[in-house]
Every structure is written in C-alpha cells, then in structure tokens.
A = this chain, B = another copy of it.
C-alpha cells in the first residue's frame, strides 16, 4: 500500500516544495522527511539566507505567499522601502516577516548551532511535524559559470534575473560537505526516494554532489523516483529550460531523466510529454504534473507514491 511507504524526498524551492506539500498531506511524520538544497544559500546584510529551506518551510506551514511561491503570505515590505530610502541594496526582496527568520537563523548560527539544528527549531516554531534537513551543515555555494564571469547563484538568479548564459556550475565547499547524519539514518529504512520537480542543475545536483551521497542513495534497494520539472519543453518555474538550452541539452523531460542517469528507477512525466515516455530508460508514469491547486499537489503526490509501491 502506497500509504504505508516510508519516503525521503529531496527538494529545491518553489516547484519541488509543491510536491513536498502534497506528500506531507498523505504521509505522517514517521513516514516522510525532507532534504532541501542549500546550494543557493547566501549571505546578505550580514544574514545567512537559505531560500530553498525557507520556501519548503513556509510551504509546509501553509504560510507561503501563494502568488510568488516564495516568501510569506500577508507579508509587508516596509523594511525594503526604508532600505531604498537609505540607498541600501534592494535587489533581493526581504519581507518584514521573512526577515525575522533570517535574523533568528543567523543569530543561532553565530551562537554555534548547526544549520540542521536551526532548521529543526524553525520548522517546529512553524508547527511542521515532518523532519526537514538541509543537505549539509557545512556551507555549499552554487557558482554559475557564464562566458563573462562566475556568478554567485543569487547574483545570477535574482540580481541578474537569469540573463547571463550559463556554461556550467560548481558547488563551492562541496568537498567539505557531508550529509546530515539523521538524514542518512532515515535513508537506511526508507521504502523509496522521491526527487521533487526541482531544477536538476542547481537544486538537485548540489544535493547529489555531496561526497558519497549519490552512492548512498544508489546503494539502497529502495527505488529512486524523479518527477520531471520540464513539461512540454518548458520549466513551469525558474531557469531550468533556459539552462538546458544554453548547455546544449535538449529541453525535454527525457533529457532530465538522462541527466539523473542510473540513479533513478522511475520517472514521472507530464501528460504533455506522454510521447517521450518510451525514450526514458527506466520505468515511467505519465500523469498531470502541473500543480496549480492544492488538490493538484496531493494528486501528483498520490500518483508518485503509487508508482513507488509498484516499483518496490
């Protein structure tokens, strides 16, 4: 029964968090936990900001901004308005409520807490029952290579609005990074691993690049199922399609499956891409993977869990 499965889900920001939310509505905390990408973390105004962890947290807490997918609902922007008046940096939007989380995290980190401890404290404060782990306690910073220069991820993503063409990526600090031990313990007893529909290059690859982690996933007999973030040659959110084009990769869900290679045992494609299912070299499911409503999130989660139980 798919509702009896124990799952580890790997996710990035907005798109992945939607499926994470769906899963959280189907499985209790004893059967579901999350690892989030921290490659797009950065330091700003002296604060450590973890966009994917925060998006996941706000989404699971049902306090995310429904229009943007990131940030908090019922947010105000008076800090930013005052910062603009003072001539400060305003390229990264920080809501007044959101800012408190960055402050509290930075304070706890400064006092010696590990990021995983901070993340746990924060998710409990938001009354989230499921465990959330950062991919590592040590800082990893995604660097985007462009023909002109290397860019810190948020400079590429937010400040420069993904305009520069990408030629590659590296994950600064990845050699020193180790997965969170609790996440590894959880992994040992899961029935399946779900890779949420996040950007393969900058959301999922940082997690998979942590030394030894991909091997740990593969070593388990539990199937690994990825949900395609590419639908009909487009990314619903973010620069994944643009990146694939610039990297010379076909902008198809098939190419995403190929990117994950022998790591995955199952791949979920959108109905739009039904024709491509036969090109994927692992088991596939074709379903609606566009998550507009909360209902959509739960349905896709349901279908993904059913798929997992079929693969076990």
Is there an interface contact between A100 and B83, defined as CB atoms closer than 8 Å? yes
- Tally A residues with Cβ within 8 Å of B: 31
Contact of A122 among B78, B86, B100 (CB under 8 A): B86
Asked if A173 CB lies within 8 Å of chain B CBs, one says no
Q: Which of A72, A98, A107 has the most CB of B within 10 A?
A: A107
Q: A45-B107, A101-B86, A106-B46 are in contact. Are A96 and B121 (CB under 8 A)?
A: no
Q: A122-B86, A125-B87 are in contact. Are A78 and B97 (CB under 8 A)?
A: yes
Contact of A100 among B79, B97, B106 (CB under 8 A): B79
Asked if A293 CB lies within 8 Å of chain B CBs, one says no
Q: Which of A97-130 contact B (CB under 8 A)?
A: 97-101, 103-104, 106-107, 110, 121-122, 125-126
Q: Which residue of B lies closest to A103 (CB)?
A: B45
Asked if A68 CB lies within 8 Å of chain B CBs, one says no
Q: Which of A62-112 contact B (CB under 8 A)?
A: 72, 75-76, 78-83, 85-88, 95-101, 103-104, 106-107, 110
Q: A46-B106, A86-B125 are in contact. Are A99 and B99 (CB under 8 A)?
A: yes
Is there an interface contact between A83 and B104, defined as CB atoms closer than 8 Å? yes
Is there an interface contact between A100 and B125, defined as CB atoms closer than 8 Å? no
Which residues in B have their C-beta under 8 angstroms from that of A126?
A: 85
Which residues in B have their C-beta under 8 angstroms from that of A110?
A: 46
Q: Which residue of B lies closest to A47 (CB)?
A: B46
A200 CB → nearest B CB, Å: 32
Which residues in B have their C-beta under 8 angstroms from that of A86?
A: 100-101, 104, 121-122, 125
Contact of A99 among B46, B79, B106 (CB under 8 A): B79
Which residues in B have their C-beta under 8 angstroms from that of A75?
A: 78
Q: Which residue of B lies closest to A122 (CB)?
A: B86
Which residues in B have their C-beta under 8 angstroms from that of A121?
A: 86-87
Q: Which residue of B lies closest to A99 (CB)?
A: B79
Determine the distance from Cα of A88 to Cα of B86 in the docked complex, in whole angstroms.
26
Is there an interface contact between A96 and B79, defined as CB atoms closer than 8 Å? yes
Determine the distance from Cα of A72 to Cα of B79 in the docked complex, in whole angstroms.
12
Contact of A83 among B82, B88, B103 (CB under 8 A): B103
Is there an interface contact between B107 and A81, defined as CB atoms closer than 8 Å? no
Determine the distance from Cα of A85 to Cα of B128 in the docked complex, in whole angstroms.
13
A182 CB → nearest B CB, Å: 21
Is there an interface contact between B76 and A104, defined as CB atoms closer than 8 Å? no
A125 CB → nearest B CB, Å: 5
A66 CB → nearest B CB, Å: 18
